């Protein structure tokens, strides 16, 4: 099959390296800037606790139009970067191609539930409907990823912990394309599974994503350091309770997952019950590097859903404007620093 990883950052670099190392498919990469130049020159170097490997994609480019039609496009761009790339994603998809979206938080296709419930775009995530109209939700699969990765330097990705990938149809159920794509990920050594209810899986990860990313970004502490400040731990657990309440108001029962989510700071963010090395969530990495953060899918849209359901979320209400201000400050400072 022809596979493309669209966005070769931390998760995308790890995914591309695993797919390439399996040598089962033709794998291309869409990247940009220093990452593009480094991969073109020396491939992708993946560093894990067990091994270091170097792999080269069939083609790496910043022009999606340079690639032939793809069977599967794995989109690992941050959610706020996706609308601007909608036309490029659409151009990559072959006649029966599928775009698998592997980003944190609520995805842009959320209101699509199949032909009977076509839905509509979410203004916070797809303001002009670019993804909805160009990529189209019918061609999308959702994905929830538990995998801690970081770009050490251009072309070099470090994998720290966790390896769980849950894919699902926006309309639910276990389709043939879902089974095929889940199988090819398993063939690359990823612990992938087909989920019949991807929305519940999205909510379940938000139990960790929302408090972990928000508090680590604001304090610049890695996950395991949050547990040393009781007030931070209290806020962490309060956000989990708020996300669970919003999820319940939208039909997702997460009662059996709350205790595990609350244990994450004490376990260094491991999802398998074991202590893990220091993990820096994506929003912490982004704010340190003065990059845009995935605030809206992880917190903003959750707040919007809370408002729609009449569900109180006072701690989330406090954290969200602080994060939006931090994001604006990072962008403003970076702009001022340009020659």
* Mean pLDDT score across all residues of the chain: 91
DSSP 216: H
pLDDT at 335: 45
Asked if residue 263 has pLDDT above 50, the reply is yes
Quote the CA–CA distance of 38 and 192 in Å, as a whole number.
Answer: 29
Asked if residue 273 has pLDDT above 90, the reply is no
Percent of residues, the chain, with pLDDT higher than 70: 94
Asked if residue 228 has pLDDT above 60, the reply is yes
Quote the CA–CA distance of 230 and 255 in Å, as a whole number.
Answer: 23
pLDDT at 270: 46
Helix (H, G, I), strand (E, B) or coil at 2: strand
In the numeric block, the tokens 């990705």 are attached to 157
Quote the CA–CA distance of 281 and 322 in Å, as a whole number.
Answer: 17
For 225, the token pair is: 């350091």
pLDDT at 245: 98
Report the pLDDT averaged over residues 114-130: 91
CA dihedral 46, 49, 51, 55 (to 10 degrees): -10
Quote the CA–CA distance of 33 and 8 in Å, as a whole number.
Answer: 11
Quote the CA–CA distance of 291 and 274 in Å, as a whole number.
Answer: 31
Quote the CA–CA distance of 121 and 133 in Å, as a whole number.
Answer: 9
Domain boundaries defined on the chain: 2-196, 200-337
Q: pLDDT-based confidence at 332, cuts 50/70/90? A: low
For 205, the token pair is: 């990860």
The phi and psi torsions of 10 (rounded to 5 degrees) equal: -65, -60
CATH 3.40.50.720 assigned to domain 2-196? The reply is yes
What digits encode the pLDDT tens for the residues 73-115?
999 999 999 999 999 999 999 888 999 999 899 999 999 998 8
pLDDT at 277: 56
Asked if residue 296 has pLDDT above 90, the reply is yes
Radius of gyration for the alpha carbons in the chain, expressed in angstroms and rounded:
19
DSSP 85: G
Q: At what angle do helices 301-309 and 230-249 cross, to 10 degrees?
A: 60
pLDDT at 94: 81
Answer yes or no: 262 catalytic. Answer: no
Q: Is the pTM of this model over 0.75?
A: yes
Q: Which residues pair with 302 in a beta bridge?
A: none
Q: Which of 80, 205, 280, 291 is catalytic?
A: 205
What digits encode the pLDDT tens for the residues 157-215?
999 888 999 999 999 999 999 999 999 999 999 999 999 999 999 999 999 999 999 99
What digits encode the pLDDT tens for the residues 15-74?
999 999 999 999 999 999 999 999 999 999 999 989 999 999 999 999 999 999 999 999
Helix (H, G, I), strand (E, B) or coil at 122: coil
Instruction: List alpha helices for the chain, DSSP H.
Output: 10-22, 33-42, 86-92, 130, 176-187, 198-219, 223-226, 230-249, 258-262, 264-267, 282-288, 295, 301-309, 314-337
pLDDT at 174: 94
Asked if residue 268 has pLDDT above 90, the reply is no
Asked if residue 266 has pLDDT above 90, the reply is no
pLDDT at 118: 82
Quote the CA–CA distance of 296 and 88 in Å, as a whole number.
Answer: 22
Indicate the CATH number for domain 200-337.
1.10.1040.10
Measured over the CA atoms of residue 105, residue 304, residue 247 and residue 171, the dihedral's sign is: negative
Asked if residue 329 has pLDDT above 60, the reply is yes
Provide the strand spans (E) within 56-153: 59-61, 70-75, 93-101, 140-153
Q: pLDDT-based confidence at 336, cuts 50/70/90? A: very low
pLDDT at 297: 97
Nearest to 86 by CA among 104, 105, 66, 101: 101
pLDDT at 19: 97
Q: pLDDT-based confidence at 267, cuts 50/70/90? A: low
Quote the CA–CA distance of 149 and 258 in Å, as a whole number.
Answer: 24
Asked if residue 333 has pLDDT above 80, the reply is no
pLDDT at 229: 86
């Amino acid at each position: 099959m022809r596979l493309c990883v669209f966005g070769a950052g931390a998760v995308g670099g790890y995914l591309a390296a695993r797919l390439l190392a399996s040598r089962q498919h033709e794998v291309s990469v869409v990247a940009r800037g220093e990452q593009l130049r480094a991969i073109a020159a020396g491939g992708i170097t993946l560093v894990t606790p067990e091994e270091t490997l170097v792999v080269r994609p069939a083609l790496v480019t910043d022009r999606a139009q340079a690639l032939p039609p793809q069977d599967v496009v794995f989109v690992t761009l941050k959610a706020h970067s996706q609308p601007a790339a909608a036309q490029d994603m659409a151009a990559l998809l072959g006649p029966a191609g599928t775009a698998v979206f592997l980003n944190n938080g609520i995805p842009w296709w959320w209101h699509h539930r199949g032909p009977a419930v076509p839905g509509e775009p979410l203004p916070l995530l797809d303001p002009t409907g670019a993804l909805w109209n160009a990529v189209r939700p019918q061609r999308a699969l959702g994905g929830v990823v538990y995998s801690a990765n970081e770009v050490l330097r251009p072309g070099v990705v470090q994998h720290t912990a966790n390896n769980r990938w849950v894919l699902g149809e926006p309309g639910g159920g276990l389709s043939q394309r879902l089974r095929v794509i889940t199988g090819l990920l398993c063939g690359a050594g990823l612990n992938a599974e087909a989920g019949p209810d991807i929305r519940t899986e999205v909510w379940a990860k938000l139990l960790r994503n929302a408090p972990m990313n928000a508090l680590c970004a604001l304090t610049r502490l890695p996950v395991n350091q949050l547990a040393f400040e009781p007030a931070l731990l209290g806020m962490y657990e309060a956000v989990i309770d708020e996300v669970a309440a919003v999820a319940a108001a939208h039909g997702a029962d997460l009662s059996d997952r709350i205790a595990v989510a609350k244990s994450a700071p004490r376990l260094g963010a491991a999802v398998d019950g074991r202590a893990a090395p220091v993990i820096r969530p994506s929003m912490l990495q982004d704010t340190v590097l003065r990059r845009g953060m995935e605030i809206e899918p992880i917190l903003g849209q959750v707040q919007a859903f809370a408002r729609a359901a009449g569900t109180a979320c006072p701690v989330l209400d406090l954290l969200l404007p602080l994060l939006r201000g931090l994001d604006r400050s990072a962008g403003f400072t970076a702009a001022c620093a340009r020659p």
